[in-house]
Copies of this chain bind each other. A is one copy, B any other.
Amino acid sequence: MAIKDRKERDKLDRRKLIIESATRLFLELGYEKTSIRTIADDIEYSPATIYLYFKEKDEIFYIIHEQGFVLLNNEFAKHVHIENPFERLTAIGHSYLNFALDNPDYYDLMFIMRAPLQEISCLEKWDAGDSAFQVLVDTVSEGIDQRLLKEADKFMVALTVWSYAHGLVSLYIRERFQSMKKVDDQVLKNMLGQSMDFFLKSIQH
């Protein structure tokens, strides 16, 4: 049965090949311009072959979507050692902001686009996303328990913090701040950081 094993390994290798090509092309060209034919050209297979390894285009992008959450969770993990929950929340907030500014395409796929979401609601899996949100809920909970944050329903506060952070970066990424483009990009980016601090200070007890 060694042959069958090798074949299964080969199959996984080709699956991996597709994912790696798709990820690279996606970060290079964006979602829209990364077509099945582009990926097929890149890995030198026919477009139909890709459908032997993935049910549909969005299944590939769901995987890239998950990879993004791994990166984000890694950033969050750097702050688990911070004892003070408010300081930890501050660090997480700025990490979230920086992640979005440094990886706008990943962020788009993870939090803005509709594309890879059918996958999630069908397959009931959303672990990586839940994990990142759980870090937020835990930190907020600790903060409230230690009276470092204003008293309120913990889940609701976490939802408020996430909403604020998401709004800030998604308006930036989707260029809704660009309209008042009297301000140049670096000034605007600095203001995003100031806004983050203002927000966190506001919910501080």
Copies of this protein, total: 2
Known: A112-B112, A198-B152, A202-B203. A167 touches B178 (CB 8 A): no
A 141-154 binary contact with B (CB < 8 Å = 1; else 0): 00000000010110
What's the Cα separation between A160 and B199 when bound, in Å?
7
A residues 149-181 with Cβ under 8 Å of B? Answer: 150, 152-153, 155-157, 159-160, 162-168, 170-171, 174-180
Which residues does chain B contribute within 8 Å of A121, judged by CB atoms? 175, 178
Query: Most chain-B Cβ atoms within 10 A of its Cβ — which of A163, A180, A203?
Result: A163
- Any chain B CB within 8 A of the CB of A126? yes
- Any chain B CB within 8 A of the CB of A120? yes
Q: Which of the four size classes fits the interface of chain A? A: 35 or more
- Any chain B CB within 8 A of the CB of A36? no
A residues near B (Cβ < 8 Å) are 111-114, 117, 120-121, 126, 129-130, 133, 150, 152-153, 155-157, 159-160, 162-168, 170-171, 174-180, 191, 194-195, 198-199, 201-203
